[in-house]
């Protein structure tokens, strides 16, 4: 075909596309990026370099909004959007031997470590207000944030807004786990050392469990449409699949025992409610019940009182019992709770100056009574136990105390902050403070710094007592309202580790169209 004929065919094709193509819609797109580079060494008290770190953490986010046509200004119109964020978390200072099993049979190996892991933080297609405002959905990798904590999975979620101010939600898929493609172990239950065992000998680190898929599902019922109060009841179950090494340590004589089959990883039920009463105050509360451990694992409550327009007084309570993946050996041990009680206050003295402070007490739960199999049947006492022998001697309820105070002054493009805090307990104390300042010149040039002095006392090891001084100095440049680059120098010193230095480069960028 000649060049002239080719041009004629292309022109006709372009004309046909122009005639049949749908009208172009207004599409909002956004690209964001955050990058942080760190250079530092971790040294022992004798001066030897223990870790060499050359870290680079960068994220790339994309968003596309308005994928379906909607009347301008109609807040009830259907909406379709796409969001994704990718993270690269590399450490070029680490040795290659730390991330790969070799003929050295694990010498220097850190199972699960990678010098340059890439994970997809989230990436999902979301629809809102479909079918007359009743239906919503998400499809892809997504976060769930509620009273059960932060959680991530690959799958789908559908929500139905019902009459009488209720919204029903159901979701299912695979829990995001370390060792799987583009994944991180951040959202797994604690207690299991898990990842890819590709290239590992069966006798090498049997406690490092192989990563396999983890089917999961959940349901929730929450209030909708009421602005002054919101409640959410939620249930979630996650399964473990595949092989699990029962032998935690290699004997050198026998192949580690392996359990294989589908089983529960975690199963929890939670409810949270929060309410606000105009200029009077607000309240939040929540409770989580672990169905596998058969106990309440978390209770929290918070009350805020607005004393006028410039003062807020708050009271907090937090009850927490550690729970673990059902495959973890820690699930068979008794875990005692902690109870945190705190009071906080914030006062805006002027439009520029505010002061905040508070105090807290942490009370530790301990076993102080005889064993009762009717209360905790899964815990067994020592064979030598007898009620008369006081196997569980009482020591009361130990507690730690803490307090903090801070002040913040902002005028124009200048920000000054001062902070002091102290924590005190039977095992040790820590007290200190720091001051920070930031100034923006001509809306683009940023200068900031921080200096602080902290002292800690280890009452179990008095030789570890020390006073530490550190400072940070940095400069930056703002390319645009949401784009900035900066460099920071950090220097810390104390009698235990001597001098420590860190150099950081940070870059944040956002482009919208």
**How confident is the model at residue 90, as a pLDDT?**
92
Q: Which of 133-137, 298-302, 374-378 has the lowest mean pLDDT?
A: 374-378
Q: Quick: pLDDT tens for 106-131.
A: 567 888 888 889 999 999 999 999 98
Banded model confidence at residue 370, pLDDT cuts 50, 70, 90: low
3-state secondary structure at position 6? helix
> Cα-flanking dihedrals φ and ψ of residue 485, to 5°?
-120, 145
pTM: 0.85
Q: CATH 2.40.160.10 occupies which residues in the chain?
A: 336-369+392-513
Q: Quick: pLDDT tens for 157-181.
A: 999 998 888 999 999 999 999 999 9
Strands 263-277 and 281-290, by their bridges, are antiparallel
Average pLDDT over residues 82-109: 81
**How confident is the model at residue 62, as a pLDDT?**
96
Q: How far apart are CA 332 and CA 246, in angstroms?
A: 14
**Is residue 431 scored above 80 in pLDDT?**
yes
> Which residues are CB-neighbours of 191 under 8 A, at least 6 positions away?
324, 325, 327, 328, 329, 330, 331
Q: What is the CA radius of gyration of the chain?
A: 28
The token pair at 349 is: 């003295």
- The answer to whether 209 and 194 have CB atoms below 8 angstroms apart is yes
Q: Which residue bears the tokens 């002292």?
A: 455
Q: How many CA atoms lie within 13 A of 406 on its CB side?
A: 18
Q: Quick: pLDDT tens for 25-64.
A: 557 899 999 999 999 888 777 767 777 889 999 999 999 9
**How confident is the model at residue 369, as a pLDDT?**
55
Banded model confidence at residue 212, pLDDT cuts 50, 70, 90: very high
**Is residue 268 scored above 70 in pLDDT?**
yes
**Is residue 77 scored above 60 in pLDDT?**
yes
Average pLDDT, the chain: 86
Banded model confidence at residue 387, pLDDT cuts 50, 70, 90: low
**How confident is the model at residue 89, as a pLDDT?**
94
3-state secondary structure at position 226? coil
Banded model confidence at residue 183, pLDDT cuts 50, 70, 90: very high
Banded model confidence at residue 104, pLDDT cuts 50, 70, 90: low
Q: Which residue bears the tokens 């930031």?
A: 438
Q: Which of 118-127, 371-380, 441-450, 491-500 has the lowest mean pLDDT?
A: 371-380
Of 207 and 228, more confident: 228
**N-term to C-term CA, the chain:** 41
**Is residue 8 scored above 60 in pLDDT?**
no
- Where does residue 436 rank: exposed (0-12), middle (13-18), buried (19+ CB within 10 A)? middle
**How confident is the model at residue 347, as a pLDDT?**
97
Q: How far is CA 334 from the centre of its chain?
A: 26
**Is residue 230 scored above 80 in pLDDT?**
yes
Average pLDDT over residues 4-31: 49
Q: How far apart are CA 2 and CA 288, in angstroms?
A: 74
- The answer to whether 34 and 507 have CB atoms below 8 angstroms apart is yes
**How confident is the model at residue 372, as a pLDDT?**
56
What are the DSSP E strand ranges found in 66-148? 79-91, 118-130, 135-146
Q: How far is CA 34 from the centre of its chain?
A: 17
- Where does residue 238 rank: exposed (0-12), middle (13-18), buried (19+ CB within 10 A)? buried
Q: How far apart are CA 279 and CA 333, in angstroms?
A: 47
**How confident is the model at residue 366, as a pLDDT?**
65
* pLDDT above 70 coverage of the chain, percent: 85
**Is residue 440 scored above 50 in pLDDT?**
yes
**Is residue 492 scored above 50 in pLDDT?**
yes
Strands 194-195 and 209-210, by their bridges, are parallel
Q: How far apart are CA 327 and CA 214, in angstroms?
A: 12
**Is residue 12 scored above 50 in pLDDT?**
no
Average pLDDT over residues 185-214: 87
**Is residue 471 scored above 60 in pLDDT?**
yes
**Is residue 86 scored above 90 in pLDDT?**
yes
The token pair at 209 is: 């469990």
**How confident is the model at residue 2, as a pLDDT?**
43
Q: How far is CA 193 from the centre of its chain?
A: 18
**How confident is the model at residue 3, as a pLDDT?**
41
**Is residue 72 scored above 80 in pLDDT?**
no
Eight-state DSSP code of residue 249 = S
**How confident is the model at residue 392, as a pLDDT?**
52
Tell which residue, 184, 150, 169, 260, has the closest CA to residue 217.
169
Q: Please provide the CATH number assigned to the domain covering 336-369+392-513.
A: 2.40.160.10
């Amino acid at each position: 075909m000649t060049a002239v004929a080719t041009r004629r065919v292309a022109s006709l094709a372009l004309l046909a596309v122009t005639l049949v193509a749908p009208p172009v819609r207004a599409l909002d797109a956004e690209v964001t990026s955050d990058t942080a580079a760190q250079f530092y060494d971790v040294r022992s008290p004798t001066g030897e370099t223990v870790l060499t770190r050359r870290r680079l953490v960068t994220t790339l986010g994309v968003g596309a909004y308005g994928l379906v046509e909607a009347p301008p200004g109609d807040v009830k119109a259907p909406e379709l959007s796409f969001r994704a964020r990718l993270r690269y978390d590399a450490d070029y200072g680490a040795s290659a031997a730390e991330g790969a099993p070799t003929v050295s049979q694990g010498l220097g190996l850190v199972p699960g470590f990678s010098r340059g892991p890439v994970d997809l933080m989230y990436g999902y297609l979301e629809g809102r207000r479909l079918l007359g405002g009743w239906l919503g959905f998400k499809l892809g990798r997504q976060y769930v944030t509620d009273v059960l904590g932060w959680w991530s999975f690959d799958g789908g979620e559908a929500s139905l807004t019902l009459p009488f101010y209720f919204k029903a939600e159901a979701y299912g898929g695979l829990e995001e786990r370390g060792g799987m493609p583009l994944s991180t172990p951040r959202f797994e239950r604690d207690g299991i050392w898990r990842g890819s065992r590709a290239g590992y000998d069966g006798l090498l680190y049997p406690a490092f469990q192989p990563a396999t898929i983890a089917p999961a599902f959940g349901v929730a019922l929450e209030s909708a449409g009421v602005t002054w109060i919101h409640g959410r009841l939620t249930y979630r179950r996650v399964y473990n699949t595949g092989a699990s090494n029962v032998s935690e340590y290699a004997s050198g004589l026998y192949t580690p025992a392996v359990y294989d089959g589908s089983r529960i990883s975690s199963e929890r039920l939670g409810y949270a409610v929060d309410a606000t009463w105009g200029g009077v105050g607000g309240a939040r509360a929540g409770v989580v019940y672990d169905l596998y451990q058969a106990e309440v694992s978390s209770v929290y409550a918070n009350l805020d009182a607005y004393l006028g327009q410039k003062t807020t007084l708050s009271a907090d309570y937090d009850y927490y019992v550690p729970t673990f993946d059902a495959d973890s050996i820690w699930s068979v041990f008794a875990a005692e709770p902690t109870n945190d009680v705190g009071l906080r206050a914030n006062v805006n003295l002027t439009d520029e100056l505010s002061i905040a402070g508070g105090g807290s007490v942490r009370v530790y739960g301990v076993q102080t009574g005889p064993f009762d199999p009717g209360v905790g049947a899964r815990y067994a006492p020592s064979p030598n136990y007898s009620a008369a022998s006081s196997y569980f001697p009482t020591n009361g309820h130990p507690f730690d105390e803490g307090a903090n105070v801070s002040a913040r002054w902002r005028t124009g493009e200048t920000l000054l902050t001062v902070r002091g805090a102290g924590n005190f307990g039977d095992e040790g104390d820590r007290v200190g403070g720091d001051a920070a300042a930031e100034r923006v010149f001509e809306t683009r040039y940023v200068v900031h710094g921080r200096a602080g002095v902290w002292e800690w006392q280890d009452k179990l090891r008095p030789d570890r007592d020390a006073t530490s001084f550190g400072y940070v100095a940095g400069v930056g440049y703002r390319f645009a309202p949401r784009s900035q680059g900066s460099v920071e120098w950090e220097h810390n010193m104390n009698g235990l580790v001597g001098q420590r230095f860190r150099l950081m480069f940070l870059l944040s960028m956002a482009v919208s169209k």
